[in-house]
């Protein structure tokens, strides 16, 4: 049996005078647009039935160890925060902000703002419109077939061209890919493959989204690989990690890697710790003090982060 405490805080924010602007109107507009585009559990399938449901931008969070979950939402009239957890801090396996706090957030919004004005924020004058590739949000490249119109901030938003489809040299069976250093004189062919960034590839794999990535690189190739280094996702450079002496928790090792990587090796303070499948999560028990974590992929590309561990 799970005992859950719930606290709901609502606050009318209009007319508040002591607020401080921390990001530009246009950046806030873009962020708010992104935060309204998630699937909403409370929306009926028929659009006519959803006309009176308040528009809300929201973001969820789940704490380490699933001790509590948050969901905070806002529109022009209200900001609502929902917190769910045990008051004694005990974690619950099924507790996430998205699954447990968000449905309550929308129940609150639907109670206090149903049939509201529906007024939404206006884009700032410095925002402009352009075509982007929907696969990446970047300026469409020569191979991108779809285009959608999207807002951008001239001089601020990235102008990178989309490379989500890239040509690779492969063998006839498409089991090996080649670079210019190891391309055989005959028997290869050019094929187009998807080329998602490491974090997106990780998401596709975890959610079983089919993605046509190039086959592994020629194992006989002697070239030193450039390109995407593994990115350590679970630990942040320069951050302090507080660990309870009474109930010490492990720290997670997880990373995102380039499409050509199968395994990674983890090192803690330059000592070998484990070789692991690239997509898997592992845990280690840290000692107090400064710790260097290194992740090396099977092409020899390496990333480090340094963290501080404090026991209390």
The residues of the shown chain that bind Zn ion, judged by CB under 5 A, are 133, 135, 144, 162, 164, 179, 181-182, 218, 221, 223
The tokens 């983890």 sit on which residue? Answer: 266
> Among residues 126 and 199, whose Cβ is nearest to Zn ion?
199
- Least separation in angstroms between residue 37's CB and Zn ion is 19
Could you tell me which residues come within 8 angstroms of residue 5 by beta carbon, excluding any fewer than 6 positions away? Answer: 84, 85, 86, 87
Measured CA distances, 281 to 40, 84, 206, 217, 293 (Å)? 29, 26, 12, 24, 14
Closest CB 170 distance from Zn ion, rounded Å: 12
How crowded is residue 232: how many other Cβ atoms within 10 Å of its Cβ? Answer: 21
Rounded to whole angstroms, the Cα distance separating 250 from 26 reads 40
Judged by beta carbon, residue 291 or residue 301, the one nearer Zn ion is 301
**Contact criterion met (CB below 8 Å) for 78 and 109:** yes
- Shortest CB 194 distance to Zn ion, Å: 9
Which residue lies nearer to Zn ion by CB, 217 or 229? 217
Q: Rounded to an integer, what distance in angstroms lies between the CA atom of residue 95 and that of residue 69? A: 7
189 φ, ψ (degrees, to nearest 5): -145, 160
- Rounded distance, CA 209 to CA 227, Å? 24
Coil, strand or helix at 78:
strand
By beta-carbon proximity to Zn ion, the closer residue of 70 and 152 is 152
The residue (of 122 and 222) whose beta carbon lies closer to Zn ion is 222
The nearest distance, CB 157 to Zn ion, in angstroms, is 16
Distance CA(79)–CA(166), nearest Å, equals 44
Q: How far is the CB of 147 from Zn ion (least distance, A)?
A: 9
Taking alpha carbons only, the member of 165, 275, 168 closest to residue 218 is 168
Q: How far is the CB of 158 from Zn ion (least distance, A)?
A: 13
Q: Which is nearer to Zn ion, 123 or 137 (CB)?
A: 137
């Amino acid at each position: 049996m799970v005992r859950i405490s719930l606290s709901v805080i609502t606050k009318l924010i209009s007319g508040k005078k002591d607020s401080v602007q921390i990001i530009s109107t246009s950046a806030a507009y873009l962020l708010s647009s992104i935060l309204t585009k998630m699937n909403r559990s409370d929306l009926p399938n028929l659009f006519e039935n959803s006309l009176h449901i308040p528009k809300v931008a929201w973001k969820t969070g789940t704490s380490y160890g699933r001790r509590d979950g948050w969901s905070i939402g806002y529109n022009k009239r209200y900001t609502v925060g929902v917190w769910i957890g045990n008051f004694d801090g005990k974690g619950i396996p099924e507790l996430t902000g998205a699954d447990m706090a968000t449905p309550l957030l929308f129940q609150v919004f639907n109670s206090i703002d149903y049939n509201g004005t529906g007024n939404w924020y206006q884009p700032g004058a410095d925002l402009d419109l352009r075509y982007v590739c929907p696969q990446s949000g970047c300026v469409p490249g020569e191979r991108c077939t779809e285009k959608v119109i999207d807002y951008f901030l001239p001089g601020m938003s990235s102008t990178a061209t989309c490379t989500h489809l890239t040509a690779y040299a492969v063998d006839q069976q498409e089991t090996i890919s080649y670079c210019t250093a190891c391309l055989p004189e005959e028997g290869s062919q050019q094929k187009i493959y998807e080329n998602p960034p490491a974090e997106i590839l990780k998401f596709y794999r975890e959610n079983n989204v089919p993605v046509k990535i190039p086959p592994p690189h020629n194992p006989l190739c002697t070239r030193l690989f450039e390109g995407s280094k593994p990115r350590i996702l679970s630990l942040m450079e320069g951050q302090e990690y507080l660990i309870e002496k009474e109930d010490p928790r492990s720290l997670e090792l997880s990373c995102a890697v380039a499409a050509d990587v199968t395994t990674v090796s983890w090192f803690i303070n330059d000592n070998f710790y484990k070789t692991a499948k690239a997509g898997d999560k592992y845990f280690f028990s840290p000692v107090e003090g400064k710790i260097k974590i290194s992740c090396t992929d099977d092409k020899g590309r390496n990333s480090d982060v340094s963290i501080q561990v404090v026991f209390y």
